[in-house]
Structure 1
Amino acid sequence: MKNMKISKLFISFSNIKRISQFAGNEYVLNTNDIIIYSVYIPHFMDLKSDLYLFLNSIEIKKVKRFYKEIDRNRFIIHRSVLKVILGAYTKLKVKNILLDYDFNKKPYLVSHPWLHFNISHSENFAAIAISRKKVGIDIEHLSEDFKFSDLLPDVFEDDQRLIIQNATDKKNAFYTLWTRKEAFVKALGKGIDKDFKCIPCTDGQHTVDFKLIKNTQNWQVRSFDLDEHYLGAIAFEGLPSNATNLELHIIPNNMKDLLKIIPKKV
């Protein structure tokens, strides 16, 4: 017990600072910056032909593998916007940004290992998290039709399940706890596995055994409202005692402003 490796995990709800007027001129990440970029997919549908030009041959092949047109369009939009944002922070040409994947299919940039990012999409929204710290994000649409009650015994421990069952708004409670687990395992690079049920997701401070997460860092998970009927959670390294600049930016939905993000000289 004396040598047991543990991590501290702090879970809470945050009112994230929203920046609706997009400032397309400053793309420098400080150590404590956690930036979330929100993309409302329907507003970008008219730009998909222009955004398609940002994709490389591997990504174009992936587009063609999607059976449904809506899935093809969503991929074109959120992948292209991701590459534009990565280009802004790395000063690379968008076409030269090549994503690789680890064994859990988490994307990363081999050329810039200091730049951590993660993406999540649900229905009409995509969200991209950027940081110098390991980061994971999950967003979910609060679907009216999704019957989640059958899932509870498989993905939540008893105390977590009771919170959902006793909640006034059970759907909101389910998605709040689910997104926290999902964001955390994405930050860890674990993915959903047999340990998913044991991942903490309730408000407060938790002690997590190394055997569960294979990690010795301390972590935070913050829930937030992305939009009406959309919940999100973001997980990142560090203690609450360390100052964190957590912001939510709205990506511009016209090519003129979007192109301002791309570095002029590379």
Structure 2
Amino acid sequence: MTTQSSLVEIDDLAQPVDWHPVSDCPVTPVLVVMRANLSRFEAFVPHLAACLSPAERARADRFVRPFDQARYVVGRGLLRQLLAGFTQQKPATVVFKPDAGKPSLAHAEGPAFNVSHSGDWIVYAFDSQPVGIDVEQVNPSFTHTDIVHSHFTLAEQQVVRENPAHFYTLWTRKEALLKALGRGLDDDLRSVPALAGSHPLSIKPGESGGTWTVRSFVCAPQYPAALAYRKPAESREVTFYELDETVLAWC
């Protein structure tokens, strides 16, 4: 398969960020990250479930654990709520493309978006261009030796050996960039850079070239995360927002 060269710029290790109230978010989101804590929306599960499609409700019913079911309903319901607000329609009328790849809107003009969840947190990324996001809950009992050996370069493996906590920082960077590109985890993860600095990146046909930026951030204590987005000619800042109950009244 023919590939072309691109560039990815990765910042230093994860840093804390300032989370602004969602009421400050502009109607047209540009390079926006939002986080939602599941416990804050558990009481609204019936409300959010009502705006899901029949297929989404069927998927929710297949979850065995109530926690997983609630997290799916909240995650998908809030996504519909946010996209409805951005595109001036009802949450239930938001239509997604039916393909199994990267999620996107089917009809309405609206932002590119991506979603990730882990433990009690759900994170969303919105932009005018392709974007990817990933969050992982740190699990001290999780053994990642095989993953590091199989999917990390020798230099990345050395970083993890020196400080095992950096595994999550590097892994979220790889996942965020893969999601921004629209690739799956079955891709060659060693070819996806994760160390700070500038790296060449092979772009497959149909993918967005240019320069990509990957930024690590802290979603919450013990929840490292990463955002991947296209770097435009002009400088842009990422803005972070905390979702609360007021988002349910957006549309």
TM-score (norm 2): 0.91
Is 1:18 the counterpart of 2:35? The answer is: no
Matched, 1:245 2:234: no
Residue 127 of structure 1: CA displacement?
A: 0.3
For 1:25 and 1:143, the matched residues in 2 are separated by 32
Aligned to 1:99: 96
Structure 2 residue aligned with 1:74: 71
Q: Are 1:175 and 2:179 matched, yes or no?
A: no
Instruction: Give the corresponding residue for 2:156.
Output: 160
Between stretches 91-100 and 127-136, larger displacement belongs to 91-100
Percentage of identical aligned residues = 25
CA contact (8 A) 1:25 1:261 kept: no
- Aligned residue identity for 1:208: L
- Corresponding residue for residue 217 of structure 2: 224
Task: Report the counterpart of residue 190 of structure 1 in structure 2.
Answer: 183
Residue of structure 1 in register with 2:197 after alignment: 204
Name the CA distance, whole Å, in 1 between partners of 2:117 and 2:40: 15
User: What CA distance in whole angstroms lies between the structure 2 residues aligned with 1:261 and 1:250?
Assistant: 15
The answer to whether structure 1 residue 138 and structure 2 residue 134 are counterparts is: yes
Q: 1:45 to 1:198 in 2, by over 3 A?
A: same
Structure 1 164/39 Cα, relative in aligned 2: closer, same or farther at 3 Å?
same
Match for residue 107 of structure 2? 111
Question: Are 2:68 and 1:56 equivalent residues in the alignment?
Answer: no
Runs of at least 5 residues in structure 1 that lack an aligned partner in the other structure: none
Instruction: Evaluate the alpha carbon distance shift between residue 184 and residue 94 of structure 1 in structure 2; reply closer, same or farther with a 3 A threshold.
Output: same
Q: Identify which range, 198-207 or 112-121, moves more after superposition.
A: 112-121
Of 222-231 and 39-48, the range deviating more from structure 2: 39-48
When the two chains are superposed, the root-mean-square deviation of aligned CA atoms in Å is 2.2
Q: Which consecutive unaligned segments of at least 5 residues does structure 2 have?
A: none
Query: Does 109-118 or 73-82 show the bigger shift?
Result: 109-118
Deviation at 1:135? 0.2
Residues 13-44 of structure 1 deviation map (CA, whole Å, 9 limit, x = unaligned): 46575343331674123xxx211110100121
Aligned residues: 249
- Secondary structure in 2 aligned to 1:18? coil
Within 2, Cα distance between the matches of 1:16 and 1:244?
A: 18
In the alignment, is the contact (CA less than 8 A) between 2:33 and 2:123 conserved in 1?
yes
Q: Secondary structure at 2:97's aligned position in 1?
A: strand
Which region of structure 1 is more displaced relative to structure 2, 218-227 or 8-17? 8-17
